[in-house]
Chain A
Amino acid sequence: MEASDRDLMARLASGDREALGPLMERHHVRVYRIALAYLRDRDEAQDAVQETFVKAYQGAARWDGSAEVAPWLARIAVNHAIDRYRRGRRRLKSETPLDAEEHGERIAAAAPSPERRAMDREAGERIAAALHGLPARQRAIVVLRLYEEMNLDEIARSLDMRLGTVKSSLHRALRRMRVALAGLRP
């Protein structure tokens, strides 16, 4: 029987590094997508995955056993991404939109038509530009809600913000994104 996330966390807390393998196997793709949605840079996102699991190991002893592991990892990943984004904001200003083609051979789902892929690529480019216009925390709120589908309470806890601030920030971020994405049809 597969060990549960909680069992793996308990093993990590006792210093058993072997528990990292199954934990990463289960969560690394999700953590990567959160980091990628935020940072829009594959290398930065991969580094974020690495740091997330290093921090998870180092913080396992302080993990609240009643909490779910997936949101806890998402919280570490997005906070790391905010930090990376702020530190490298000048460099990331030249961030290039993700190329769907480059992901082609690694995309898990059934291959979409060339037209759909071209449209997705454009959507990806425009979303990257729209996210780029948001302040660091609004960007994190959008990623956690739209990509990670966290509820607002979880987002507030993850980012150490008040619930009301999360609501108003999400509202403002989406309004801003609507302006930036104007003219692009889904």
Chain B
Amino acid sequence: MSLLATGALDGPERAAALAHAEACAACRTDLEAAQDVLALAGHDPVRDALPPLPVGALLARVQARIAETEAAARPGPPRWVKVLVPLAAAAAIAVVTLRRPSPEPRPVAPAAPRQATVAEDALRRLESSMARENAVRYLNDAQDVLVTVASAPLACDRKRARVDVGEEARRSRELLSRRALLVETDRAEMAGARPVLEDVSNMLREVAALDPCSRPEELLAIQRQMSRQRLLMKIDLMTWELQG
């Protein structure tokens, strides 16, 4: 009914929902309640708000910001140049050193390990950045689920005096599988994030194990545990840190 009220349905979906509302008194009440929310949103002052700054001033800010980012990008060569130039230089040094006649035999072997070191460093940096990004995405998505669980629960349609956490349980399972695939907690740079990631995963396991129509006490126990661990705040701090 909510979707019908927002006008998000059309065609056969809309016709079916309308027919259903005709025959179901509870659904009509549901529809009216959803329409009230929309009507209230219609009176939100945001709809008529205008930006505090005139467009000319905003444009000047945007132009300045673009100039700033372009200037910041200009002095440094692109990342691939930063990687390839030292590699090329190392290779050139290696070639010159190998060809130069020398009265004494000189060890030239270090040139090869140096090339490898530069390339490995770049790869390590890339992997590290990806690992952090994956962890941040996981924590943000987990926080969305946990915020929903922590806020006022919705009544379950199917069972009276129960709360609906079906979607949160499903998303928790999905996130736990994603973590297993993408979040590399054994990396050294993730050491600081490990305890929070563990706490989050433990909490998601609890949510994943909930019945879609759970008893309110079960949810309350999870909410208390989250509050005791200050989990939402820890997630905020950790994502902040991982994003640098």
Identify the closest chain A residue to B35 (Cβ): A186
* B8 and A170 contacting across the interface, CB-CB below 8 Å: yes
B48 within 8 A of A: yes
* B55 and A89 contacting across the interface, CB-CB below 8 Å: no
- B82-126 Cβ-contact flags toward A at 8 Å (1 or 0): 000000000000000000000000000000000000000000000
If A24-B55, A146-B6, A178-B33 touch, does A135 touch B147 (CB 8 Å cutoff)?
yes
Say what secondary structure dominates the interface of chain A.
Answer: helix
* A147 and B41 contacting across the interface, CB-CB below 8 Å: yes
- A58-96 Cβ-contact flags toward B at 8 Å (1 or 0): 100000000000000000000000000011011000000
- A100-119 Cβ-contact flags toward B at 8 Å (1 or 0): 10010011110000000001
**B contact residues around A100 at 8 Å (CB):** 45
B140 within 8 A of A: yes
Neighbour of A172 across the interface among B7, B51, B53, B167, CB < 8 A: B167
B66 within 8 A of A: yes
* A120 and B43 contacting across the interface, CB-CB below 8 Å: yes
9 more contacts with CB within 8 A, not counting A174-B37, A175-B154, A177-B37, are A37-B44, A46-B52, A50-B62, A54-B65, A87-B239, A98-B45, A98-B49, A168-B167, A181-B40
Q: Which residues of B contact A (CB under 8 A)?
A: 2-3, 5-8, 33-34, 36-53, 55, 58-59, 61-63, 65-66, 69, 140, 143-145, 147-148, 151-152, 154, 167, 233, 236, 239-240, 243
Return 16 A-B CB contacts under 8 Å, by A number.
A24-B62, A28-B51, A28-B55, A33-B47, A37-B46, A103-B45, A106-B50, A107-B48, A123-B41, A123-B45, A133-B152, A137-B144, A170-B3, A174-B5, A180-B152, A184-B40
Q: Which residues of A contact B (CB under 8 A)?
A: 17, 20-21, 24-25, 28-29, 32-33, 36-37, 40, 42, 45-46, 49-51, 53-54, 57-58, 86-87, 89-90, 98, 100, 103, 106-109, 119-121, 123-124, 126-127, 133-138, 145-147, 149, 151-152, 167-172, 174-181, 184-186
